[in-house]
Structures are given as structure tokens and as C-alpha cells.
Structure 1
Amino acid sequence: MSGTTGTSGASVQRRLARFNRRFANRFVGPVLTRMPGFGAVVHRGRKSGRTYRTPVKVFRKGPHYVMSLPYGPQSDWVRNTLAHNGCELRTLGRRIQLADPRVYVDERQAVVPAPLRPLLRRFKAFDFIELRPVAAVEEVPAKRT
């Protein structure tokens, strides 16, 4: 019976991920990625080669960047990042080339600030991806209005 619960939980996560990818990210993403602790991963599709932009929660672990994976490591952006051995992170007006992705599970959520742990625990977000910067930080030019 517990296998059934796990499967339906994963199914709910995948449906939520699909909804966010198709609708919510388009509206919330541009605002959210300008806030401290958030960013956008720019990655290339494994088959299409198309460029995608996915909002993420970003943490620092020494020189490395770590993102929580609330929808698990099966997310398209994670699979694309692994396939291409890296991605670009846009955060707080900077573009950072990242490489050497490493997916891991941490039920203690050691990289997550203590006040955020209960929220991520609620979503059972124990999966993370860690990447190292490979290029100097580049400032993104401000958009002219």
C-alpha cells in the first residue's frame, strides 16, 4: 500500500511541475528570478537543442551553486543540465556559466537556511544539484525601457 502512496505523490509532483512549466513560470519567473536566493537556469534541450529558462531556488555552498529539486532529478532542466555537463545561471543581474553537475540527496538539507527547511520538507525536496562556476561572472545589461 505504501508503494501506491509514493506513486500518487510522484504523480502529483509531476502534474504540478507540468503546470508550473506551462503557466506559472511564465508569469512568476521574470519577477522571482530577480529576488535574492532565486535565479533562472538557462539550459539547452537534449533532443531539440532549444534554449529554455527555468526559475530555481539557489543556495551557495562555498564556491559552488546548489539548487533544490522539488520535482526531483527527473525534471527536464536537470536532465538537460546533466546531458550538457552544465548550464548558465542568471541571478541578481549576473550570468554565471556552471559545469560539473552533481545530483545528490540530503534529507538534512544542510545547504538550506534553517527557516526554509520546513517548507522544503513539506514538499519532500531532499534532492539537490550542485554545480561549479567555470567562467567569470558577467553582468547582464539592464533592459532599456
Structure 2
Amino acid sequence: MNTAAFADTPTTRCAYYRRTCGLPAGIHPDIGRIVIKAGLVGGITMPAALGQRVRDDLLHRRFTLGPIIAHIRSHRWTYLVRPDLPNDIRLAPALLHLNVSIVPYGGEIALPSPADGPAHRQWVIPPLDTFRPSGLTIIAAVQASAPREPLR
């Protein structure tokens, strides 16, 4: 049996992301990284500690979670979401205060790739199909899970 045919390469992983997960993935021509451009899929990035609280809160409330990427070196998580967030300028300062950002339309989201190795990106929750939670649900969970500032 030829085991090379079953090897996990950036090309085979990219094909899996596209066919099975419905992610518009491609291989960045300059750096060989697997990326998606925000548009059909959205991204919400936050500090890993907050991401863990959000995940735990949603699991406790029995929400179905979608794909979550851990960025190992920067200690951040990115939730892949449906791009249903409104263009509300009041939302940005509240998120900025929490060190949370919404990947802008056309922005690149790097996906875990066998070429990167585990020191770059890993799936906290890997994509298994085309499901992604609502961005509105993740933002509400971020706001509910954010640490409260002490009263002065």
C-alpha cells in the first residue's frame, strides 16, 4: 500500500477544508500558508484566556461550537463564524477595550497547516463540516464572559 497517497500535506489539508468544511481555503503563494479571506466566513480573534471563558460559557449553555483556532505564539484564539455582525461603530470600542477584533472583510485568516507545525496554529475545535456559529452569538458570549473591572 502506498502510504504517501494518504500523507497530510498543505494541498490535501486545503482540499479537506474546501470540500468537507466549506471553507474557501487557498495556499498563500508567497509563504505557503493555508488561508481564507473573510467574507463567506468571519473571524473573531481574542486573547486565549477570554476565548477559553467564551468556549466554556457556550458549552455550559449547550451551544454548538464551531471551529476555533489557537495561535500558539501570540496566545490568541480565533472563532470562525457566520459573517452576520452588523456594521455598528459602537461595537468596536467595546471590543477594542477587551483586546477583541473582528477580522475585516477581505482580511486573511491563517488556518492550521501541516507545513506550519504545532508551534504556530492548532485547532481547539477542528471543523468537521460547514457549521459555523453566529458571530452575534460569539460577541454576546464575549461580552458576558469578559472580566468585570472593579468599581472605584
Q: TM-score, normalised by structure 1?
A: 0.28
Q: Which of structures 1 and 2 has the larger relative contact order (alpha carbons within 8 angstroms, sep 6+)? A: 2
Q: Which has the larger radius of gyration?
A: 2
